[in-house]
Chains A and B, each alone.
Chain A
Amino acid sequence: MLDNYSKSKIVLITGASGVIGNSIVNLLSEDNNLKLLITGQNEVKLKYLKSELNNVLAYLAGDLIDYKFREKLISSFSEEFGGLDILINNAGIYTWSSIDNLQAEQIDKTLDLNLKAPIHLCHLISQGLKKKKWGRIINIGSISGSVGEANASLYSASKAGLIGLTKSLALELAEYGITINSISPGWVKSPLSESVFGDENNPLNEKDEIDCVPQKRWIEPSEIAHLVKFLISEPACGLTGQVINLCAGLSLG
């Protein structure tokens, strides 16, 4: 039987101060073999998570849109904790806008955070993982990236990009014992989704949207956390390059 981790692993979770990130941090912190480093924009929330949860070693608040912050994040954590083993690219923003109304700034911001940051973070840790001959990368995408979503072309494009990253990197790093997978949630109960329904320009309401979901419900953040926990485990070593739709059936059409 494959033991879950022969030695403790250093995990970096981005977007840790958001609802999904928070849920991932909470669940993973229960495993004493995982030592967590967290980043996000809400410094107080990160500070609180660190003081409340066991196994959260450090936090660094900042904006992943800034590539200098990404470099600082990886170099300072690597220096202090001896390199990462697991990266969870969770930070992201949702942009709801018709193609007509998109602003150039929005395009840059969405692609910077949702796509360029994960690519850059993978770049910054890839050599370290190769040396260890072990690694796990999880990208939190969205089913919009594979099935499309009207009035969210920018967001969908950024999440589709993550699928390309996941599959290509999985091929490139397979021989080093590194796996890369993507989780594509459907509608998750989080401020990100609620901001969409709260938008007065949005014709959708929560009830109509849930009616479209085969299981007639939201995805809970903790469901994503449990899947992350499995995908980064030792027994999941043969699973790589996969995009898993965690969507209560929504992606089935």
Chain B
Amino acid sequence: MSKNLFNKIWDSHKIASLNSGQDQIFIDLHLIHEVTSPQAFGMLRALGLKIAYPQRTFATVDHIIPTSTLKRPYQDSLAEAMIVAIKENCEEFNIKYFSPEEGSQGIVHVIGPEKGLTQPGTTIVCGDSHTSTHGAFGAIAFGIGTSQVRDVLATQSLALGRLKVRRININGKLAAGVYSKDVILHIIRVLGVKGGMGFAYEYGGSVIDAMSMEERMTICNMSIEGGARVGYINPDQITFDYLQGREYAPAGEKWNEAVTKWKSLASEADAEYDDIVNIQAESISPTLTWGINPGQAMSIGEKIPTLEQIKEEDQGTFEEALEYMKLEAEKPMVGLKINVAFIGSCTNGRLSDLEEVAKYVKGFKVSSNVKALIVPGSMQVKREAESKGLNKIFEEAGFEWREAGCSMCLAMNPDKLQADEICASSSNRNFKGRQGSPQGRTILMSPVMVAAAAIKGEVTDARQLFKI
């Protein structure tokens, strides 16, 4: 039995074993954004500390920045103050900042990969729980709290307990109209929202092998929604092809050296795991949530389950979920009227997500009862989409086309649901009030399913509407 990728990276990044039983782990890459960093900088200043390796930290703004306009000052004075603060902090501490001033901002988990910062075999942290996204490249990537942001700035290391590793094989072939978002929603539904606690998830199998990097990022992004702080995929030729030529990727001779090293890190066929789960691709249909956590999900063709049909561990929130969502057991989700449609976020705001949506919405119109937004994950995604004319297709169909940011995924900015509006959303969390209104309701699904719901004005099977 050989070591899996997680343990290889862990062992090569271990600085010391601590008396607490934890290990001190070196952090290769630290990404920061405007919301979880200001206090950490404040603490550094109070302690009179410098940043250990400023060249290993990269900053951008995504959470609080409005996406409807780039005009300064922003209407929300708090947003303006935070975006001024991160700029000043980056200048003072000599940190590279992908900024609105230079039009290079975007969601932190979209920017890392597109700049080539996210690389196989590295440890990556960010003060945001969806940092697991970067695991798609064969990295150990996870979210940290503000005091850990401070610790990484000051020491470029963290005290951490080693995780167990669960291999999740998805074999077979996905049917047409079934996307990586459906795969991860299905996995969370099967294993539960707490099933991954204490584990890193290693995703593999023929379905994962065939996926593009952007599809893999969608899978790894939502690992945390299944309780796993870390989710990763072994690096392969698809990974290397994606990275080659990107701004911060190794170049020239260093590229070949890097690829050789990266190849050696992937888990071998005889790698040891703490647990293995097998899922057959043919069992996955377009999947959407009916409840208030991402595990409360069903196939589009199914009916909302009854209390008896769900796992005992999930029964506690069953009635609360139906009451909040104003839904009933044994009813279909198909036909449920929606008010808002949101395509974007660190889960599904990349170019290929937008291209897939554009492919189908051409010639359709968004329902007059629906407010529909498409928010690119980064300014680079925005520019690429515009160069391909996607924005025109979207706008002609009645979608709003925005600047880059987190937007309605978490409603820390002006994009919010009102009262008990229902939103078909390509984002990652459907917690109560997540999208800004204390009564707002979120239904998670793939971008193409969101587009179909926007056009019909109700939850619908995108495969039928778009004849996929």
Contact = CB atoms under 8 A, between A and B. Distances in A.
Query: Does A associate with B in a complex?
Result: yes
Interface of A: 8, 19, 22, 26, 32-33, 42-45, 47-48, 50-55, 57-58, 80, 189-191, 194-195, 197-198, 221
B431 A19 contact: no
Interface stretch (B34-42, B246-254, B299-307, B385-393): B34-42
Contact of B438 (A19, A57, A189, A190): A57
Nearest to B436: A51
A51 B317 contact: no
Contact of A191 (B46, B64, B433): B46
A110 B242 CA distance: 56
Interface of B: 35-36, 38-39, 42-43, 46-48, 63-64, 78, 82, 129, 145-147, 292-293, 316-317, 320, 410-412, 429, 431-434, 438
A32 B43 contact: no
A103 to B, nearest CB: 20
Nearest to B431: A54
Nearest to A47: B412
B63 A48 contact: yes
A189 to B, nearest CB: 8
B316 A32 contact: yes
Given A44-B38, A51-B411, A53-B431, 8 more contacts: A19-B146, A48-B35, A51-B412, A51-B429, A54-B293, A54-B432, A58-B438, A198-B48
Given A32-B316, A48-B412, A198 B78 contact: no
A80 to B, nearest CB: 8
B47 A194 contact: yes
B438 A52 contact: no
Contacts of B320: 8, 32
B39 A42 contact: yes
A44 B64 contact: yes
A19 B46 CA distance: 15
Contacts of A42: 39
B201 to A, nearest CB: 19
A12 to B, nearest CB: 16
B145 A22 contact: yes
19 contacts: A8-B320, A22-B146, A26-B145, A43-B78, A44-B38, A45-B35, A45-B39, A48-B35, A51-B434, A52-B129, A52-B410, A54-B293, A58-B438, A191-B39, A191-B43, A198-B46, A198-B47, A198-B48, A221-B147
